[in-house]
Amino acid sequence: MIKNYLKMLLRDFLKSKAYSLINISGLSIGMAAVILIMLWVQNELSMERFHEKEDRIYVMYNRDINPDGNRWAWNNTPKILAPTLKTDYPEIEDATRFTNINFLLTVGEKKLNVQGAFTDSSFFNIFTFPLLHGNARKALSDGHSIVLTEKFAKTLFGNENAMGKIIRIDSSHNATVTGIMKDLPNNTLLEFDYLLPWDYLDQLGENDTYWGNNSTRTYALLKTGASRQVFDDKVRTITIDHTKGSEDASTTEVFTQSLSRYYLYGKSENAKLVAGNMVTVRLFIVLAIFILLIACINFMNMSTARSERRAKEVGIRKVAGVRKEMLILQFLIESTLLSIFSFLIAILMVQLSLGPFNQLVNKTLFIPYGNLLFWLCALGFILLTGIMAGSYPAFYLSSFRPVSVLKGTFKKTNALVTPRKILVTIQFTIAIVLIIATIIVYHQVQYGLKRDTGYAKDNVVFIFTEGNIGKHYTAIKNELLNKQLATSVTLSANPITQRWSDSWGFYWDGSTKTDEKIDFLRLGSDADFAKTFNINITQGRDIDVYQYPTDSMAIVLNETAVKAMRLTNPIGTQIHQRGGDLVFHVVGVVKDFIIESPFQQNMSPLMVFGPKGYSRNIVHIKLNPINTTTHNLAGMEKILKAYNPQYPFRYIFADEDYAQKFQNAERTGKLAGLFACLTILISCLGLFGLSAYMSESRTKEIGIRKVLGASVWSVTQLLSLDFLKLVIISFVIASPIAWFAMDSWLESYSYRIGIEWWVFVLTGVLAITIALLTVSSQAIKAAVANPIKSLREE
């Protein structure tokens, strides 16, 4: 039976090659788009779910109330939290800390500066990252050990056995390779090429037991059978209890978030973790459904439009005694066979497009050909597509009455509302919604890009104070200025484009206990901070420890900080911080500038500290504009190589670093645009085929009209008008849907555009133009045809 159906399908394909190609093309493109989306969705949903103990692993979170009365939650915790959990809470089987670092690793002549992490020896007991070589329990137990990923081990040692090899860390310590682990899977949030034991951090003097220093992530493994709720109730006041009675008593509460929900439900709303990335996942699942629906609609429309071609076949088969159920089964099998063929083409399309798609979504997705579950899902996908695409044509074609068909009295209805018109309307409604979404996302990104940052980031580079750079900073700075490679240089705690540090617990004359909860962003400067970034000083002056030695304890505030602190005359104000003996004094106020998200309306209060108030991590350099960038960088490299020969020359342009803030929004816009284009392409394929068939089926009518004097324009208008009406109806339906959806999306941005009328006008014109271009080509072809030829054939 299947063999006969396959023969009939092949015969029908050869008889109507053009329509069959349109059907297969639309279905293949739709299926390929859905496969790409679902590969991404599967990757998102599987984040951190591969760990064997995943159901017992929890991420530790803090929550507190800020001075505005708003509750907030964050996942950076004190370094002392993990060991305290292990010793004081019987529900805990194990706990580990994890914090990323960048060290220069040297093996012979190879020098690589890549991302690694400090973690505890319990890391491999909690997480499932298999070791290819080494003992998981002992690999990180020694303070001079290091564990490498398989790929990084090959980068350092080639095909040699890396176990037991010595690696120089930052030109100061040696570490022995005690483990080689499998490369990280593509569904983990942990990023590193090597792991160093926490004991090494202790040796560097960077460990502390201060409960107010929230600087690392803590993961806890609950014992089998332990109640998370009971543990949460116990651990809630751990920070409060350990700081009670001290000068810097805390009100911060602690709670857990399951590892499996950490990525998808990590958005803090009033200190509760709600769907963040999960919202995007849901949207793309809906998008995949819509794209598949559009592809199936093409099949339905083309099949029902050509119903007259198969009407006699249905009539004869019914007269021969074939039941309606068997006819339905026949058409469903035909659509499923077509779905199988389209799926094979779709897989080829996906394989060819995975490289560019991975670059777009910043992931490493692949088709798991060796996974049985993938093929079971593929089988279900094929059957679902085949049944969806073939169901309406199957019921429609099998319902023909044999008497009417064989007598030749069978006619297709031209009702005002038909299933085919509804399906075309649905197609273009979805396409128009996606076009509007793409335009609005692009407009929002451009709105953020054009926002005044409050500082000049062009021609500014920053370097890390690695190796001897910090030690020789003054000499390096002087050489850069004297050789006219730079116009200004300033030493800071972090890049001006990134939020690395924030702090609270500050008090001053007239402040309240509530004011101590104000969270200030922290930057640092030795001198020329405002000059380097062309920041406007509104009161006082900039920090300059060379002209004013007491500026080592100075602070420059931004305008938001002055308002939050309610200072009328900020210059000279003395500022203290709980838990410390240092007394800072305000020397200047600068206009607000953007450090965090450019889509955040309100600026955060900021303190720029003198050298005693921050760690020296970054050097910002304003390159001299009279030279070429190449000249400046070449000169910089020579100077840094002279003072820091062990380290490779690394620099980052501030404007390029700032541009990364737009990556997520731009990625969303590109994805929306990509799938909008695919949706339009699929819809136009169907519209093209449908218009071609409609023109063909009305050949006699067109011929008679032309003989009676109808112009080419009037015939073209006649054939195009019906489709144009459907597109206009689609636009009317899509506009409020798109407005509501995009207004909800824009709510996540406090600095946002308004949805303007021109977006809808532009989309409407674009949709009508695309539809007219698609339909008119066939309409004009039919209109200019010789009527004598068509009437003679009739």
For 676, the 3-state DSSP assignment is helix
Identify residue 467 by its one-letter amino acid code: G
Q: Which one, of 103, 462, 117, 72, lies nearest residue 272 by Cα?
A: 72
CA dist., res. 551 & res. 362, Å (int): 44
Q: Which one, of 535, 518, 533, 529, lies nearest residue 554 by Cα?
A: 529
Give the pLDDT score at 173: 87
Reported as a single tens digit per residue, the pLDDT across 302-355 is 766 655 566 566 666 656 666 667 767 777 777 788 888 899 999 999 999 999
Give the pLDDT score at 140: 94
User: Which has the minimum average pLDDT: 337-346, 701-710, 724-733?
Assistant: 701-710
Give the pLDDT score at 408: 54
Q: CA angle, corner 234, sides to 228 and 237, nearest 5?
A: 125
Give the pLDDT score at 129: 95
pLDDT(450) > 70? yes
Once rounded to an integer, what is the mean pLDDT over residues 734-748? 89
pLDDT(5) > 70? no
| Residue 141 exposure: Cα atoms within 13 Å on the Cβ side | 7
CA dist., res. 585 & res. 610, Å (int): 10
Task: State the virtual CA torsion across 153, 158, 159, 165 in degrees, nearest 10.
Answer: -60
pLDDT band for position 688 (50/70/90)? confident
Once rounded to an integer, what is the mean pLDDT over residues 649-662? 90
pLDDT(52) > 60? yes
- The gap from C-alpha 701 to its chain's centroid, in whole angstroms, comes to 54
Dihedrals φ, ψ of 175, to 5°?
-130, 145
| Residue 235 exposure: Cα atoms within 13 Å on the Cβ side | 29
User: Exposed (0-12), middle (13-18) or buried (19+): which is 414, by Cβ within 10 Å?
Assistant: exposed
Give the pLDDT score at 253: 93
User: Which has the minimum average pLDDT: 35-44, 156-165, 400-409, 597-606?
Assistant: 400-409
- The pLDDT > 90 percentage for the chain reads 45
More confident residue, 575 or 304: 575
Once rounded to an integer, what is the mean pLDDT over residues 39-45? 93
More confident residue, 649 or 578: 649
CA dist., res. 566 & res. 515, Å (int): 10
CA dist., res. 431 & res. 32, Å (int): 17
Residues facing residue 434 across a β-bridge: none
More confident residue, 788 or 747: 747
User: Exposed (0-12), middle (13-18) or buried (19+): which is 81, by Cβ within 10 Å?
Assistant: buried
pLDDT(426) > 70? yes
Give the pLDDT score at 307: 56
Give the pLDDT score at 727: 87
pLDDT(213) > 60? yes
User: Which has the minimum average pLDDT: 605-619, 679-693, 736-750?
Assistant: 679-693
Give the pLDDT score at 295: 84
Give the pLDDT score at 237: 94
Exposure letters 650-688 (e unless 16+ CB within 10 A, then b): eeebbeebbeebbeebbebbbbbbbbbebbbbbbbbbbb
User: Which has the minimum average pLDDT: 249-258, 523-532, 696-705?
Assistant: 696-705
Identify residue 558 by its one-letter amino acid code: N
CA dist., res. 672 & res. 763, Å (int): 14
- The pLDDT > 70 percentage for the chain reads 84
Give the pLDDT score at 519: 87
Residues facing residue 131 across a β-bridge: 181
Q: Which one, of 480, 503, 492, 587, lies nearest residue 533 by Cα?
A: 492
* pTM metric for this prediction: 0.84
pLDDT band for position 200 (50/70/90)? very high
CA dist., res. 629 & res. 612, Å (int): 33
Dihedrals φ, ψ of 269, to 5°?
-130, 110
What is the pLDDT of the chain when averaged over all its residues? 85
Give the pLDDT score at 21: 79
For 228, the 3-state DSSP assignment is helix
Contact present, 301 and 686 (Cβ < 8 Å): yes
CA dist., res. 348 & res. 345, Å (int): 5
Q: Say which residue the tokens 């080639």 belong to.
A: 158
The runs of H, that is alpha helices, within 399-472 are 402-407, 419-449
Reported as a single tens digit per residue, the pLDDT across 469-478 is 988 999 999 9
Residues facing residue 114 across a β-bridge: 103
Give the pLDDT score at 71: 85
